[in-house]
Copies of this chain bind each other. A is one copy, B any other.
Amino acid sequence: MMMKTLLPMNTVKCRRLLWAMIVIAIFVCAISAQNPSPNMMSPARLSLMPIPASVQLQPGRLQITSGFTVATKNFADDRLRAAIARMLRRLEGRTVLTLPADLSNDEAAATLVIQCERAGETIPSLNENESYSLEINDKQARLVAPTVVGALRGLETFLQMLQGDRDGFFMPAIRINDQPRFPWRGLLIDVGRHYEPMEVLKRNLDAMAAVKLNVFHWHLSEDQGFRVESKKFPKLTGLGSDGLFYTQDQVREIIAYARDRGIRVMPEFDIPGHSTSWLVAYPELGSAPGPYKIERGAGIFEPALDPTREQTYKFLDTFLGEMAGLFPDDYLHIGGDENEGKQWDRNPQIQVFMKEKGIKDNHALQAYFNQRILKILQKHHKKMIGWDEILHPDLPTDAVIQSWRGPASLAEAAKKGYNGILSAGYYIDLILPAAEHYQADPIPANTSLSAEEAKHVLGGEATMWGEWVSSETIDSRIWPRTAAIAERLWSPRNINDIEDMYRRLSVISRQLEELGLTHEKNYEMMLRRLAASENSAPLRTLASIIEPVKQYRRYQQRPQTMLSPLTGLVDAARPDSETARRFNAHVNSFLADAPRFALNRSELERTLAEWQTASRALGPMIDQSPALQEARPLANDLSVIATAGLEAMSYLSSGDAPTMEWRQAQLARLDEAAKPKAALEFVVMSSLRKLVIAAGELPQLHSMTPAEWNKRVTMMASPPAAKP
């Protein structure tokens, strides 16, 4: 049962005692709620994500029937009414109940009363008050928020409260007081490398709102494409976009859509590097003569704007002025990352300029550039934000740092007085499990920052870099893992039970589908296409325990261009396999059940036999479907894995130890199977190694406790180079 009562601790020192008292008081209440009295109706498990700052379950439940009505109190505007209508549609979708479409005028009788005081910021901003409280009892739910944005956040919590049993739909009685830990909780979507259609952005904005993210960081220009219409410089998209860009009307549509959901839209125009697509259109801005072609590869490229010519600043003044008018957000992101300055090194004019001005290196030259840009942005009433690299002694402290380097680098900046947000740890394109992202904290428990300094850490952003995502696959790379990051940025620091996070993530993932997200449904579709058959079951079995290789190894192992199809098995396979997680947990419990080895035995044997069967069925399937030919070695590995597992379990069950030869042979085969193929890797290998080693170590079980024996097996099973 989720029963956390937590308040943020990074408040001013003089209030600490008061806070501590409140925390203790509420904690006592929470404990008592955790052990409900017998006459309290037992509530189903809550699956809130992010977990609110304070949650107290109460006795009782509110039935949700077709008589469900909503009333507003004190303040309501179009944004609130539209949000209520959306909430009703989702509630109807889940319950299959036809609910009254009109708001009720009878506050006393309404099922849900929403009490707001004001609209909130006209343009969504960092200063927004997003707090709310939600109280549900037998008769009514009451959502109270100072602003409409707080009410939007509360409506999402409200929807997450829905439960069902034989007596119908209901919400457990509860008291929630909630506000975010950080004011900046973002998702970057890189539409430069692969363009994403409007509906992809819209459904992801819906999903962001569902998990209370509030900044859409729109990475709009890259070496591989310039994606926003400029009326001043139409060649930017005319020559630099392959015709794939957003018109200014579409930009306004996205901004309005995001605002309706309490989400800021911050544009990024990455300069001076990452700018090939600009130079295709305007080579005169470049640091080398050109001509330039839209980049089709992945990596870091040389083209960079020429920071020594006034023409560059004149262009950027006009362009950024136009964009400042288009994007109402306070911030404009100038990128600033990964410019290695090779073009600068080779340009004699630039070298002369540096000498004349006493600019000692490329980093200093970029700092000079940044200061010029800062002035332009200030002129257009925008605050500047950029990646780690923009940090330089000459950078004024009103610039904001987005850190891909880590909390330490962020803390260092904070101590110098810079505001910052964390993205290191939230790079969802690296295909890491949600648990890893979940443990990255913008202000870790062991932070060296004072409370005052910590205020400079505004939050964080998940980054969906676009090298290997299409409109078909992007949802599966963002969700559900980003919901765990959203919780890290919203919920108190000490909400960090990974197992419970995964339990809730699975529920939330399903709910995201009602917003049109395709992370689940495109998986099956892609497997059907690859199988060239509607019976994709054996392929699904394989795909369920493999993942794309991590970090940036995909490109090394399976190079493609930005024009390549993203429809291979590596694209269908998803990060953070739930099947593998469950299998690994079962193996652990099975081994912990030594020397009986009964727990989960039949389930594990069934699973391994299913892998064996699937491996056999994959051969003929691959024969018919050349798109799967690269997966043939994986199909063979699946058989190796299944055989090793079944044989090991047979030894363990019988209590007879295998020979050393068997053990060595199996481990050698598993090592081969563990090597990535087609940029995919099995994520059950450590469990298989454990089973084989456990079988081999059976004789030792007589001379030590099962716990000692298990520890020994686990240690022996960890391959030398791998992380635990």
Residues of B within 8 A of A525 (CB): 513, 520-521
| Interface residue A93 (Cβ < 8 Å from any Cβ of B) | yes
> What 1/0 mask marks residues of chain A from 484 to 528 whose CB sits below 8 Å from any chain B CB?
000000000000000000000010011001100010111011001
* Residue in contact with A169 in the complex, picked from B164, B166, B626, CB distance below 8 Å: B626
Q: How far is the CA of A623 from the CA of B94 in the complex (A)?
A: 15
Nearest Cβ in chain B — how far from A438, in angstroms? 20
Q: Is A624 an interface residue (CB 8 A)?
A: yes
Beta-carbon nearest neighbor of A44 in chain B = B624
Q: Which residues of B contact A31 (CB under 8 A)?
A: none
Residues of B within 8 A of A510 (CB): 528-529, 532-534
Tell me the number of copies of this protein.
2
A93 to B307, CA, bound (A): 42
- Are A565's CB and B165's CB within 8 A? no
Q: A98-B560, A506-B534 are in contact. Are A93 and B625 (CB under 8 A)?
A: no
CB under 8 Å from chain B, chain A span 48-102: 89, 92-98, 101
Q: Does A417 contact B (CB under 8 A)?
A: no
- Point out the residues of chain B lying under 8 angstroms from A96, CB to CB: 530, 565, 567-568, 627
Q: List the B side residues contacting A412 at CB < 8 Å.
A: none
Asked if A349 CB lies within 8 Å of chain B CBs, one says no
**Could you say which residues of chain B place their CB within 8 Å of the CB of A522?**
521
Check: A436 CB closer than 8 A to any chain B CB. no
Inter-chain contact B528/A564, CB cutoff 8 Å: no
Q: Report yes or no: B98 in contact with A565, Cβ–Cβ below 8 A.
A: yes
Q: Which residues in B have their C-beta under 8 angstroms from that of A529?
A: 93-94, 510, 513-514
A79 shortest CB reach to chain B, Å: 15
- Assess A627 versus B95: contact at CB under 8 Å? Given A522-B521, A525-B521, A528-B513: yes
- Chain B residue nearest to A520 (CB atoms) is B525
A165 touches B623 (CB 8 A): yes
* Chain B residues in 8 Å Cβ range of A532: 94, 164, 510
Closest to A95 in B: B627
A528 to B101, CA, bound (A): 26
Q: Does A700 contact B (CB under 8 A)?
A: no
Nearest-neighbor residue (CB-CB) of A623 within chain B: B166
Residues of B within 8 A of A534 (CB): 506, 509-510, 520
Inter-chain contact B565/A97, CB cutoff 8 Å? yes
Interface residue from B520, B560, B629 paired with A528 (Cβ < 8 Å): B520
**C-alpha spacing A478/B53, complex, angstroms:** 47
Max count, chain B CB within 10 A of own CB: residue among A95, A96, A510, A521? A96
Nearest residue (CB) in B for A578 is B534
Q: How many residues of A contact B (CB 8 A)?
A: 45
Supposing A199-B199, A514-B529, A525-B520 touch, asked if A624 and B94 sit within 8 A by C-beta, the answer is: no
Those of A122-138 within 8 Å (CB) of chain B: none
Contact with B along A553-589 (1 / 0, CB 8 A): 0000000110111011000000000000000000000
Q: Within the assembled complex, what's the spacing in Å between the Cα atoms of A530 and B96?
A: 9
**Cβ of A629: which chain B residues have Cβ within 8 Å of it?**
168
Instruction: Decide if B521 touches A95 in the complex (CB within 8 Å).
Output: no
The answer to whether B561 and A98 have CB atoms under 8 Å apart is yes
Enumerate chain B residues within 8 angstroms of A518, measured Cβ to Cβ: 521
How far, in angstroms, from A169 to B529 measured CA to CA in the complex? 14
Complex Cα–Cα for A627 and B90 (A): 13
Would you give the shortest CB distance from A487 to chain B, in whole angstroms?
A: 20
Q: How close is A43's CB to chain B, nearest CB, in angstroms?
A: 14
Q: Which of A167-189 contact B (CB under 8 A)?
A: 168-169
Map CB proximity to B onto A703-716 as digits: 1 under 8 Å, 0 otherwise: 00000000000000
| Nearest CB on B from A161, distance (A) | 14
Q: Which of chain B's residues have a CB closer than 8 A to the CB of A520? A: 524-525, 528, 534
Q: Is there an interface contact between B92 and A626, defined as CB atoms closer than 8 Å?
A: no
Q: Which residue in chain B gives the minimum CB-CB distance to A166?
A: B623
A563 and B101 within 8 A (CB): yes
Residues of B within 8 Å of A563, CB to CB, are 98, 101
Interface string of A619-648 (1 = CB under 8 A from B): 000011111010000000000000000000
Q: Check if B565 sits within 8 Å of A625, measured CB to CB.
A: no
In the complex the two chains form, is B164's CB within 8 Å of A565's CB? no
Q: Across the two chains, which residue of chain B brings its CB closest to A167?
A: B626
Contacts of A164 in B (CB 8 A): 532, 624-627
Least CB distance, A634 to chain B, in whole angstroms: 15
Given the complex of chains A and B, what is the CA–CA distance between A568 and B92 in angstroms? 10
- Min CB–CB distance A296 → chain B (angstroms): 9
Residue among A101, A166, A521 with most chain B CB within 10 A: A521
Most chain-B CB neighbours within 10 Å: which of A89, A94, A623?
A94
Given contacts A513-B528, A520-B534, 17 further A-B contacts (CB under 8 A): A92-B565, A95-B627, A96-B530, A98-B561, A98-B565, A164-B624, A166-B623, A166-B626, A168-B629, A510-B528, A510-B529, A510-B533, A510-B534, A513-B525, A513-B529, A518-B521, A520-B524
Of the A-B pairs whose beta carbons lie under 8 Å apart in the complex, a sample of 7, sorted by A's number, is A92-B567, A165-B626, A509-B534, A514-B529, A518-B521, A520-B525, A521-B521
Nearest first, the 8 A-B pairs at minimum CB distance are A521-B521, A92-B565, A98-B564, A164-B626, A96-B568, A96-B627, A93-B567, A168-B626
Measuring CB to CB, which residues of chain A are less than 8 angstroms from any residue of chain B?
A: 89, 92-98, 101, 164-166, 168-169, 199, 506, 509-510, 513-514, 518, 520-522, 524-525, 528-530, 532-534, 560-561, 563-565, 567-568, 623-627, 629
